[in-house]
Amino acid sequence: MTSRRTFLKKAGAAGAAGAAAIAAPAVHAQSKTRIKWRLQTYAGPALAEHVIKPSIDSFNKVANGEMEIELYFSDQLVPTGELFRAMQRGTIDAVQSDDDSIAAPVDISVFGGYFPFATRYSLDVPALFHQWGLNEIWAEAYGEVEGVTWLSAGAWDPCHFNTVNPIRSLEDFKGLRVSTFPTAGRFLSRFGVVPVTLPYEDIEVAVQTGEIDGIAWSGITEDYTVGWADVTNYFLTNNISGAWCGSYFANSDKWEALPAHLQELFRLCMDSSHYYRQYWYWGGEADLRVNGAKLELTSIPDEEWAEVEAEAVRFWDEIAAETPRTAKVVSILRAYNETMSKAGRPYRYT
């Protein structure tokens, strides 16, 4: 065995030397310094194909060898709940997720993910950030935290239930074990829902084994894309939020070390990702409700669902009382939704 190892070692060294001599011109041509980042998304592989991978592929292509971003999926390098701290330490360079799931140590993290009834449509999220002041509030909040730079927020899909057994009344929520986001779970527990936190890739198996009864994590597009429509039977048309709010973050030292043109390229690619999701989800949600064959649609009557909306008002009051900044965000959400309601169709139907 010792002789064999010695032989392999010598053969490998000789082969490498020979290959280097033959390929010397190519090595010279590729010798320019490359910046490498490791970015982890909240999404598993199937979902990442839509919510981030096209934009990262574009970035790597346009960066033309100056920089390369290695994309990692949910929990692949670091558990989702530890992503913020890992980014601070420099274990990873960037993150795509919501503030809530990564336990961001800022008071406004509660508004990431699904904040109950904050939005009705996906376009509400960019409007709130770019035109109603949330960009400045998020930048201020993360500016108080060492080591992490918040970069951009965008919209994903609405928050619906897909379950093994049908939901047709609030009574069906009682004792229902669902995988969901922290703040959404905190709100839904008021109606008897039992929130469960699981690694993303374990959710499908947890439904199959009966560990959970369903998922309150997405709209119907994701249900079909990631396989949850294959292990559940029903989709509740009522939702507690019209759009998930997620963001991009980076380790501050790594972000500040980037040349200005690469920072701008990354901003453009974030915007392309935000744009792609707008139409991918919007079209998918409608198409799969009408043409999808895997999930039966159910609804809770409007007069009963009004209890959930009324409870959301009390929930907003509690969040507003936490800090002056959360109060400011809630006041913006209220003013925005009042404006949309007064504007009427198509901005608001109720």
Same domain, 167 and 236: yes
- Classify residue 324: in a domain, yes or no: yes
Q: Which amino acid is at 201?
A: E
Higher pLDDT among residues 21 and 157, named by residue? 157
Same domain, 172 and 279: no
pLDDT for the residue 76: 96
Letter string b/e over residues 35-45, b meaning 16 or more CB atoms within 10 A of that residue's CB: bebbbbbbbbe
- Report the C-alpha gap between 107 and 110 in whole angstroms: 7
- Classify residue 75: in a domain, yes or no: yes
- Classify residue 2: in a domain, yes or no: no
Same domain, 190 and 301: yes
Same domain, 134 and 273: yes
| Contact predicate 247/151, CB 8 Å | yes
Same domain, 321 and 191: yes
Q: pLDDT tier at 2 (50, 70, 90 boundaries)?
A: very low
C-alpha to C-alpha distances, 36 to 27, 65, 92, 250, 258, nearest whole angstrom: 18, 10, 11, 13, 11
Q: E strands along 125-262, which residues?
A: 148-155, 160-163, 177-180, 194-196, 214-218, 234-236, 245-251
- Classify residue 41: in a domain, yes or no: yes
| Contact predicate 78/40, CB 8 Å | yes
Question: What's the longest Cα–Cα distance across the chain?
Answer: 84
- Supply the CATH number for residue 330's domain: 3.40.190.170
- Classify residue 57: in a domain, yes or no: yes
138-179 confidence digits (pLDDT tens): 999 999 999 999 999 999 999 999 999 999 999 999 999 999
- Classify residue 94: in a domain, yes or no: yes
248-298 confidence digits (pLDDT tens): 999 999 999 999 999 999 999 999 999 999 999 999 999 999 999 999 999
Same domain, 100 and 226: no
- Classify residue 180: in a domain, yes or no: yes
Same domain, 64 and 91: yes
Question: Token pair for residue 84?
Answer: 């913020």
Please state the φ and ψ torsions of residue 218, each to the nearest 5 degrees. Answer: -165, -175
Same domain, 48 and 96: yes
When pLDDT is averaged across residues 297-318 and rounded to a whole number, the result is 97
The separation between CA 263 and the C-alpha centre of its own chain, rounded to angstroms, equals 21
Number of domains in the chain: 2
The answer, yes or no, to whether residue 18 has pLDDT greater than 90, is no
Question: DSSP for 10-60?
Answer: HHHHHHHHHHHHHTHHHHHHT-S--EEEEEEESS-HHHHHHHTHHHHHHHH
- Report the C-alpha gap between 324 and 17 in whole angstroms: 65
**Does the bond joining 195 to the residue before it have cis omega, within 30 degrees of 0?**
no
Same domain, 277 and 325: no
- 3-state secondary structure at position 113: strand
- Classify residue 12: in a domain, yes or no: no
Same domain, 181 and 323: yes
Q: What percent of the chain has pLDDT over 90?
A: 90
- 3-state secondary structure at position 178: strand
* Nearest to 246, CA basis, from 78, 58, 104: 104
**3-state helix, strand and coil shares in percent for the chain, rounded to the nearest 5:** 55, 15, 30
Same domain, 267 and 320: no
Q: Which domain holds residue 37?
A: 33-109+122-155+244-288
Q: pLDDT tier at 349 (50, 70, 90 boundaries)?
A: confident
When pLDDT is averaged across residues 285-313 and rounded to a whole number, the result is 97
Point out the domain boundary residue: 270, 288, 306.
Answer: 288
C-alpha to C-alpha distances, 348 to 242, 278, 281, 336, 345, nearest whole angstrom: 12, 18, 19, 11, 5
Same domain, 195 and 280: no
Q: Which amino acid is at 12?
A: G
Which residues partner with 257 through β-bridges?
A: none
Q: pLDDT tier at 44 (50, 70, 90 boundaries)?
A: very high
Q: Which helix (H) or strand (E) segment is 2 a member of?
A: helix 2-22
- Report the C-alpha gap between 67 and 308 in whole angstroms: 48
